[in-house]
């Protein structure tokens, strides 16, 4: 791999990592603590991730248990979860908060799979845009630095292979998440 294409492969890897993180936050019937990743609570005036102010565990397949380290954080965490787009009403006993995930309906599962596929398509578009940026930069180098036609062709071919590799990785991540969502 040439150093001219390494920059673009790094961008594609970051884009793939972003997709994987986003897919992990989509709930698929069973409790997954990553659904809390985007939710922050007010901790002494600072927006802080729930995992940094409480112990988050999954005692059963469809329950997430949040045990704040400070009792006063129960109300803050409760409020943050209710304000989020999680769609689950937290239950607390004053010390521990429980999120009970209902079974997903078939309609909701299909809707989630559509969302996953949409996110995958957006990532593929991002990959193609990165490839296009690389090709544009290559053409500029040809004009300014006078690199040869063969070098340009090599870089274009390499960018194409890298793009294909990442698109296959996106397809694999989408298939895996879709199967996880549709599994009853």
Domains of the chain plus CATH, in order, are 3-24+105-182 (1.10.132.20), 33-100 (3.30.1360.40)
Q: Which residue has the higher pLDDT, 53 or 30?
A: 53
pLDDT of res. 14: 92
* Model pLDDT for residues 86-139, shown as the tens digit of each residue: 778 888 888 899 988 877 788 888 888 898 999 999 999 999 999 999 888 888
How many other β-carbons are positioned within 10 Å of the β-carbon of residue 89? 10
d(CA 30, CA 17): 22
The predicted model scores a pTM of 0.71
């Amino acid at each position: 791999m040439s150093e001219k294409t390494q920059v673009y492969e790094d961008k594609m890897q970051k884009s793939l990592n972003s997709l994987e993180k986003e897919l992990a936050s989509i709930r698929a019937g069973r409790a997954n603590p990553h659904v809390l990743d985007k939710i922050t609570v007010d901790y002494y005036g600072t927006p802080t991730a729930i995992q940094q102010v409480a112990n988050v565990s999954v005692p059963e397949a469809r329950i997430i248990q949040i045990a704040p380290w400070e009792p006063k954080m129960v109300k803050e965490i409760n409020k943050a979860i209710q304000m989020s787009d999680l769609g689950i009403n937290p239950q607390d006993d004053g010390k521990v908060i429980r999120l009970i995930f209902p079974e997903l309906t078939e309609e909701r599962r299909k809707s989630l799979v559509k969302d996953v596929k949409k996110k995958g398509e957006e990532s593929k578009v991002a990959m193609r845009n990165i490839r296009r940026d690389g090709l544009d930069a290559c053409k500029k180098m040809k004009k300014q630095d006078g690199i040869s036609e063969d070098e340009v062709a090599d870089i274009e071919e390499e960018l194409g292979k890298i793009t294909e590799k990442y698109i296959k990785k996106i397809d694999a991540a989408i298939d895996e998440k879709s199967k996880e969502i549709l599994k009853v």
